[in-house]
Structure 1
Amino acid sequence: MAGPRVVIIGAGVVGAALADEISARGWTEVTVVDQGPLPATGGSSSHAPGLVFQTNSSKTMTELARYTVEKLSSLDVDGEPCFLQVGGLEIATTPERLAELHRRHGWITAWGVEGRLLTADECVARHPLVDRERVLGGLLVPTDGLAKAVLAVEAQIRRATERGVTFLARHEVLDVRQADGEVTGVLTDQGEIPADIVVCCAGIWGPKIARMVGMNLPLTPLAHQLAWTGPLPALAGQREEAVRPILRHQDGDLYYRDRFDGIGIGYYGHRPMPVTADDILSVDEADGMPSVQEFTEDDFADAWAETRALLPATREAKIEEGINGLFSFTTDNFPLLGESSDVKGFWVAEAVWVTHSAGVGRAMAEWLVDGFCSSFDLHECDVNRFEPHQLSPEYVLTRDCRNFVEVYDILHPLQPSGDPRPIRTSPFYARQQEHGAVFLEAGGWERPQWYEANAPLVEGRSLALPGDWAARFWSPVVAAEAQVTRETVAMYDMTALKRLEVAGPGAAAFLERLVTGKVAKSVGSVTYTLLLDHDGGIRSDITVARLARDLFQVGANGNLDLDWFTRHLPADGSVQVRDITPGTCCIGLWGPLARKVLQPLTDDDFSDAGLKYFRAKRAYVGSVPVTAMRLSYVGELGWELYTTADQGGKLWDTLWRAAEPLGGILAGRGAFNSLRLEKGYRSFGADMTYEHDPYEAGVGFAVRLDKGDFIGKAALERRRADVRRKLTCLTIDDPGSVVMGKEPVYDGERAVGYVTSAAYGHTIGKGIAYAWLPAGLAAAGTALHIGYFDRRVEAVVAEEPLFDPTMSRLRG
């Protein structure tokens, strides 16, 4: 099978890896074009220092890096290796960094990569140039090392060429041709190449290429300083290119690598130096590599001073070379992978560093050939993940520059992203400010984490206080809000929940084809259901409410759900999908007194008989028209109440005037997360992702295999009988040991899984952690440990849900 006609734009580490991987899968009618010479094309790959550190808080990014290490370690060019596996050493010079290295060790242990924590003496034994007096400890990953990027490009070009792939050097892309919303070819300065699929792997020129099809690629090329010393007397006679581990000194925003008898120094501590893709010269225009800008010595002064302090041997040398090399940053530090939402056949694989290059090549090849990626969970990397505001030039530039500054910072999982803020606010924002809301950000939305006005609720309560790390971006008020929700009633701002409207005569059949549950039911029905990919993996969990015969409202998880729906729309125009989130808002009114708040405000019947659990209806609350859905993600009686944004303030005031005299409160996301974990409600993106199926994730109840065909059904039937791992509930007795997520779980000394999400259960009086574990360890009562920084936390597998297993409070 030669496959479709594919043109890959860019022959750097990503384009070469994709050509190799896709041709290995039988697609050989592939042409790779690049404006530069091969294999050093003049892009970021050509000057990359090649350091491959696999440690990352993202499981996906670690796995992409691990595959890159494995593949490049197997490649050579005429006997010269493409990867020097010297190991990677991260050192701590402050107590805060040492604690962070313990956390990072937890990540790689959770993701299945070998790593060891070292004492200061062990660090110096591994890297003798380091000053022993400066170091407190370190983290060693033996499989890290140096990628020889240009050699890796050449090796993969050779393999792909042997399978029939054509590589065209010195071909500048002038346009991407399209017709009727599909790509048809690529126009170069030497002619047009027909194509059914075009993949943009142009790196720092990516935004320029993407604009040829009207695509806004949120990527910023930034200059990064890299310098090389002259010979160091301490390294005199070193004949091998690298013998010491690659070294990270993150407290100084620095990294180091060997180069025979000198060292390379990379620096992130300088001011951000962004450029636009249009400002980068072409290969023909540039004097040298266009991805290399003039070295600015003044910006490197602090780096050189810190280097001489940390590595005393460098005091006898000087900087002989230096560059400001360009490479790509994104607003969330993830690559940009996938197909354009507007032009069929135009794909991108952008903002990919050498560290993840071969992994991305494999992921893209699987995605293109099979229609899905089976080796990696790519939901964090999908180019269509962004909300419209996240594509604005101001937003992209500001966030990308901030990410450059913070690249080595110690960041808390709840730490807000910073400017530009605020961007998206609900109609309740001013009222929340009046009550002392402490806002965190999600998807651009300002979301209250707790309300300082509730501080008096803390008095007289027995509240568990977490340790230092978990206590950041937290307050005892969170605990009080959670308890009061279960005692009286609370109002939660749920506006940030993505809402889609699916309408038209074909809407019911359209949804039935996409989801695992039965949604073509009576008007007023609400269904919790799943979106699956073709391999049976979970793409999202959603709620579908049938509001009229041809009208549905979908509670979704983000823009990827909208993109998935849009891609599957029937061509006959019988279904329309639109994002109604910006024009609407939502209040979650939940708690045992919720009905006492709501019923006096409306003539509609909100008794249990009048609106049963998982039913919806249109009604009036005071003078405000609402869509009321009897759902509760905190496990209490209540409703999600939706209205238009212009009447949101009126709805809020109406409910608050009725709730406050009954002891009702406003409550934030901190309490919400604790309450939803007590009920065992999953969160897509944290607890379950593309790599998991419903039976593993404990949401098999949302699958109706007895209904008609739906995407992923055939694959799910094959996977159903082979559940080898399970999303499992763990409880922790020690109230001070609240974990945060992504920690390793141990059975004895063996790492067996990882935590997904966690919180303290303020109703049940225990810490809660959901974790992926082997099915054999998922039985209630199994004693395990969670690795939390430098200690182990005792945990035990528990039956779920932990709270109200009979559902009596929800159905009251």
Structure 2
Amino acid sequence: MSTEAPPSQADTVIIGAGAVGCSVAYHLTELGAEDVTVIDQGPLPVTGGSSVHAPGIMFQTSPSKIQTKAAHYTSRLLSDAGVYDEVGGIELARSEDRMDFLRRRKEWATSYGLPEPELLSPEEVTDHLPMVDEDEILGGYYSPTDGRVDGIAALQWYIGESSADFYGSTEVTDLDVSGGEIQAVETDKGRIECGRCVIATNNWGYQTGQLAGLDLPIAPVEHQYVVTEPMSELADAGSSVGDNTTGLDVPGERSIAEYMSEGPHQPVGRDQDHSLYFRTHGDSLGMGSYNHETLSVDPEAMGKNSEERQASVRGFTEEHWTQPTHRNRDKSAKQAFDELLPATRDVDYEVTENGIFVFTPDGMPAVGETAQVDNLWTALAIWWTHSGGYGRILAEWMENGTPRLPSGPVDTGGIHVRRFEPHAGEKDYFVDRGAKRYEQVYSIVEPRWQPDDHRRLRTSPFYHQEKELGAEFYQSGGWESPQYYESNADLVDRYEDQIPEQDGWQGINRSQIEAAEHLHTRENVSMFDMTSFSSIMVSGEGSQGFLQRVCSNDVDIDVGQVRYSLLLNEGGGILADVTVVRLDDEEYMVTTGGGNSPGIHGGWLEDHAPETVSVNIEEGAKSTIGLWGPKSRLLLQRCTDADVTDDGFPYFRAKQMYVGEVPVIALRVSYVGELGWELWTPTEYGQRLWETLWEAGQDLDVRPMGGGALSSMRLEKGFRLWGTDIDTDSNPFEAGLPFAVDMDTDFVGKEALESAKADGIDNRITPLTLDGSSDIMLSGRPVLKDGEAIGYVQAGDYGYSIGESIAYTYVPSEHAEAGTSVQIQCEGETYDATVRDEPLFDPGREKLLR
């Protein structure tokens, strides 16, 4: 730690010395990075950000694997550092729905490797938390390694253990960006030229990004917390309040930092039915609340710290504590606490605050190198719970090119800063979506839940036809994509005997029409809107050599040939699966999925392209129809003079041709395992393309098909979905994709794959089918062998063509042999299942190749 002015040059500058910035600095230097400088506008270590006004509670269990893994790493790191109170955590159920939810928590914890998760009876809860009224609860979920981090002590530990240089009371005034990369950080104490920079300013993340011309979707929100006066019920714990911040410079009200540094002696608790949590502070009790209307803060008006004011803390608004202002809760925070913890009913509060922290539009962190500015990285929207883990992940990513924890590579698709769609940086949008995520923090969010605000931002040219056909639209990446069509309701009667009922949680927001569309496509012909998918045009001198370097497969192919390939990171993890189409000698079309794919996958290609190669990400520039089913050739031939026979247009070939008057790039590929084509055309032709095919196919019973049918059809065929079955925490051999790797070529990640192959492949993906049950398995649920977790469900659905429920999972190689019996835990039940060979449907590819 230094009180001097920062240097004029550093290899790495980290802006923000809170939980995240300190973690990144610690892990970078642990990995060998030198010349790392950390700066913060506040004093050190009590910077005035959320790291020092937060109560430090750490609940590790999440439906997200990466969140759970990051949290567990954080708890182990800080426990070893001696700044973590491992008192355990108990989540309470005050409703039957919440008790069902806690069973899911236990299943997720089992899947992702948290130690000894346990469901408790009301009596067992009160053995741990005697202040809880036993009559108010139905039970609890206990994670013994949950607890609380002492924020100030942890920051001191990071600073002391890191070889980075730390400078407090240093305000960033500008970021110098030129030539598309970071050049320097300007501060009120001088300019720091740097090779790379990390934005770790959390509450000020939007403002810091603006200095570099970035619209980072980081929405600050107020959150309430109180600490009671000393309570007789907690008198045995004692207190050291008054000594915790002695000798430290503390902006604003000292009592907040003072009490937050006071540790608990009982498990930390959550009453999610009322959006509440609590922990002891010595002989006082702290109570936190999300149980109020969302109090969004203008991200441009965060302000600065002073002796009188901590900028990340606002004045306590009593009406939000005593009145029910949350639109999904019928009791106020105080009312609910009075019932759950009767001893708190008449106590006074020593500390009150509306503390600020941040949310992104999807509630996940924003981590990674920005697309717009090379060597400018972000580590934002991260709480104490995950700060150690994400610091390690980002440091590995920056130093070694592979985001990972000591347990192995991690999937970054859900946290990558490049995942956000182009409109996400508009302030009203991300503030509103951040407010919704705040509202949902402790809510039970149904499967396939959809937002109702900021809709119809991105629509395909087919939107109005789809709407007339009764499309149920789901939003992904801002696109409105049909999940199923009410116009196909008549198909349910046709296929009634092949569509089992789905009850309970598995059946929520699911329609039998999805199943009917699946079965109709297998027998007839359907049109699928693929406009949310993206094409990336790669052209110019050296295009073939460039793609050969970044693609795992051999892409030295003929004009008109199509090849499936992977993009790998340096560690051999699957960054993307793509289809590569050679259109001319030095012109290729690379197709990828929708959602976060264009930003992540297209951005990666842009980053690695030489100056002679142009990479144009055509997000929204082309409209695409998937024309699939045994009658697809008959329909397509009616609309084109091109030869679409099997001899004239073989599988995995492409043609530039006309459908009616519409110019298309037609690919003979099919993501559903049926004869079919993808038809790509400039967006302005999209509506006519739909009309042409639709009118020509009426006597063939052509139907629209939605995403629900796509999901079940691709699982039957064993086709992978990036971000679900494959991602950066798996390599191609584990993922069952050796055919997408040509080890005779030279590509990014090859060396790592050679090492993995030499070491042996310990885990493999495999399909499971349930023995005697048609229930659909949900992702994240544990797969067991002899009572021990060996994997978890990556994706599940019912295979309507094969008449079996399918779940895909990675399991140790010794359990991956077909015929192996396993079990799956889902929604509190244990199902018998069997490992199967893939593909489950049409293993001879007769349907694809006819």
Q: TM-score, normalised by structure 2?
A: 0.92
Contact in 1 for aligned 2:561/2:582 (Cα 8 Å): yes
- After TM superposition, give the deviation of residue 735 of structure 1 in Å: 4.2
1:256 has 2:278 as partner: yes
Report the equivalent of 1:475: 511
Report the equivalent of 1:353: 383
Distance change >3 Å, CA 313–CA 443, structure 1 → 2: same
Report the equivalent of 1:79: none
For the residues of structure 1 that align with 2:792 and 2:798, how far apart are their CA atoms?
17
Give ranges in structure 2 of 5+ residues lacking alignment: 1-8, 240-262, 323-331
For the residues of structure 1 that align with 2:29 and 2:635, how far apart are their CA atoms?
64
Report the equivalent of 1:459: 493
Residue of 299, 303, 316 corresponding to 2:333: 303
1:508 has 2:521 as partner: no
Contact in 1 for aligned 2:774/2:804 (Cα 8 Å): no
Report the equivalent of 1:491: 527
Deviations 1:41-74 (A, max 9, x none): 1011110110101111111111111111001101
Report the equivalent of 1:732: 770
Deviations 1:120-149 (A, max 9, x none): 221122211111111111110000000111
Report the equivalent of 1:18: 24
Task: Give the letter aligned to residue 12 of structure 1.
Answer: G
- After TM superposition, give the deviation of residue 547 of structure 1 in Å: 1.6
Report the equivalent of 1:809: 847
Report the equivalent of 1:565: 605
Task: Give the letter aligned to residue 651 of structure 2.
Answer: Y
1:579 has 2:609 as partner: no
For the residues of structure 2 that align with 1:657 and 1:184, how far apart are their CA atoms?
57
For the residues of structure 1 that align with 2:481 and 2:634, how far apart are their CA atoms?
26
For the residues of structure 2 that align with 1:657 and 1:396, how far apart are their CA atoms?
41
For the residues of structure 2 that align with 1:361 and 1:638, how far apart are their CA atoms?
46
Contact in 2 for aligned 1:45/1:149 (Cα 8 Å): yes
Task: Give the letter aligned to residue 35 of structure 1.
Answer: Q
For the residues of structure 1 that align with 2:701 and 2:716, how far apart are their CA atoms?
23
Residue of 594, 599, 624 corresponding to 2:637: 599
- After TM superposition, give the deviation of residue 485 of structure 1 in Å: 0.8
1:693 has 2:720 as partner: no
Distance change >3 Å, CA 678–CA 173, structure 1 → 2: same
Task: Give the letter aligned to residue 64 of structure 1.
Answer: A
Report the equivalent of 1:47: 53
- After TM superposition, give the deviation of residue 680 of structure 1 in Å: 0.3
Deviations 1:565-590 (A, max 9, x none): 1101113xx21111223121111111
Match runs of 1:373-388 below 5 Å = 373-375=403-405, 376-388=410-422
Report the equivalent of 2:44: 38
Match runs of 1:386-535 below 5 Å = 386-460=420-494, 461-462=496-497, 463-535=499-571
Task: Give the letter aligned to residue 263 of structure 1.
Answer: L
Residue of 299, 310, 315 corresponding to 1:289: 310
Deviations 1:686-731 (A, max 9, x none): 1011011000000111001112x11111111111232000111000
Report the equivalent of 2:590: 554
Report the equivalent of 1:102: 103
Give ranges in structure 1 of 5+ residues lacking alignment: 77-81
For the residues of structure 2 that align with 1:178 and 1:428, how far apart are their CA atoms?
41
SS of the residue 2:651 aligns to:
coil
Task: Give the letter aligned to residue 99 of structure 1.
Answer: D
- After TM superposition, give the deviation of residue 596 of structure 1 in Å: 1.5
Report the equivalent of 2:6: none
Residue of 58, 61, 70 corresponding to 2:67: 61
For the residues of structure 2 that align with 1:576 and 1:262, how far apart are their CA atoms?
63
For the residues of structure 1 that align with 2:720 and 2:57, how far apart are their CA atoms?
37
With 5-14 and 190-199 compared, the bigger mean Cα shift is at 190-199
Report the equivalent of 1:206: 205
Contact in 2 for aligned 1:735/1:760 (Cα 8 Å): no
Report the equivalent of 1:167: 166
For the residues of structure 2 that align with 1:624 and 1:186, how far apart are their CA atoms?
51
Match runs of 1:663-812 below 5 Å = 663-707=701-745, 709-721=746-758, 722-812=760-850
For the residues of structure 2 that align with 1:631 and 1:491, how far apart are their CA atoms?
14
Distance change >3 Å, CA 624–CA 28, structure 1 → 2: closer
For the residues of structure 1 that align with 2:451 and 2:61, how far apart are their CA atoms?
21
For the residues of structure 1 that align with 2:180 and 2:167, how far apart are their CA atoms?
26
For the residues of structure 2 that align with 1:343 and 1:458, how far apart are their CA atoms?
51
- After TM superposition, give the deviation of residue 252 of structure 1 in Å: 0.1
Contact in 2 for aligned 1:374/1:535 (Cα 8 Å): no
With 381-390 and 674-683 compared, the bigger mean Cα shift is at 381-390
Report the equivalent of 1:197: 196
SS of the residue 1:363 aligns to:
helix
For the residues of structure 1 that align with 2:391 and 2:650, how far apart are their CA atoms?
50
With 795-804 and 551-560 compared, the bigger mean Cα shift is at 551-560
For the residues of structure 2 that align with 1:4 and 1:283, how far apart are their CA atoms?
26
For the residues of structure 1 that align with 2:89 and 2:451, how far apart are their CA atoms?
28
Report the equivalent of 2:3: none
For the residues of structure 1 that align with 2:705 and 2:773, how far apart are their CA atoms?
22
- After TM superposition, give the deviation of residue 352 of structure 1 in Å: 1.0
Task: Give the letter aligned to residue 146 of structure 2.
Answer: D
Deviations 1:74-109 (A, max 9, x none): 113xxxxx1111101111111111111111211111
- After TM superposition, give the deviation of residue 444 of structure 1 in Å: 1.2
Report the equivalent of 2:695: 657
Report the equivalent of 1:271: 293
Once superposed, which parts of structure 1, at least 4 consecutive aligned residues long, lie more than 4 Å away?
none
SS of the residue 2:506 aligns to:
coil
1:9 has 2:31 as partner: no
Contact in 2 for aligned 1:233/1:313 (Cα 8 Å): no
Contact in 2 for aligned 1:466/1:735 (Cα 8 Å): no
SS of the residue 2:300 aligns to:
helix
Residue of 315, 329, 339 corresponding to 2:345: 315
For the residues of structure 2 that align with 1:14 and 1:213, how far apart are their CA atoms?
20
For the residues of structure 1 that align with 2:768 and 2:264, how far apart are their CA atoms?
45
- After TM superposition, give the deviation of residue 220 of structure 1 in Å: 0.8
Contact in 1 for aligned 2:457/2:479 (Cα 8 Å): yes
SS of the residue 1:213 aligns to:
coil
Task: Give the letter aligned to residue 404 of structure 1.
Answer: Y
SS of the residue 1:177 aligns to:
strand
With 345-354 and 188-197 compared, the bigger mean Cα shift is at 188-197
Contact in 1 for aligned 2:221/2:359 (Cα 8 Å): yes
- After TM superposition, give the deviation of residue 179 of structure 1 in Å: 4.1
Contact in 2 for aligned 1:255/1:267 (Cα 8 Å): yes
For the residues of structure 1 that align with 2:513 and 2:183, how far apart are their CA atoms?
59
For the residues of structure 1 that align with 2:153 and 2:471, how far apart are their CA atoms?
54
SS of the residue 2:588 aligns to:
strand
Task: Give the letter aligned to residue 698 of structure 2.
Answer: E
Contact in 2 for aligned 1:467/1:736 (Cα 8 Å): no
SS of the residue 2:308 aligns to:
coil
1:339 has 2:339 as partner: no
Q: TM-score, normalised by structure 1?
A: 0.96
1:623 has 2:661 as partner: yes
Task: Give the letter aligned to residue 62 of structure 2.
Answer: N
Contact in 1 for aligned 2:220/2:298 (Cα 8 Å): yes
- After TM superposition, give the deviation of residue 372 of structure 1 in Å: 2.2
SS of the residue 1:696 aligns to:
coil
Aligned-pair Cα RMSD in Å = 1.5
Contact in 2 for aligned 1:415/1:473 (Cα 8 Å): yes
1:329 has 2:329 as partner: no
For the residues of structure 1 that align with 2:619 and 2:185, how far apart are their CA atoms?
37
Contact in 1 for aligned 2:781/2:825 (Cα 8 Å): yes
For the residues of structure 2 that align with 1:748 and 1:692, how far apart are their CA atoms?
25
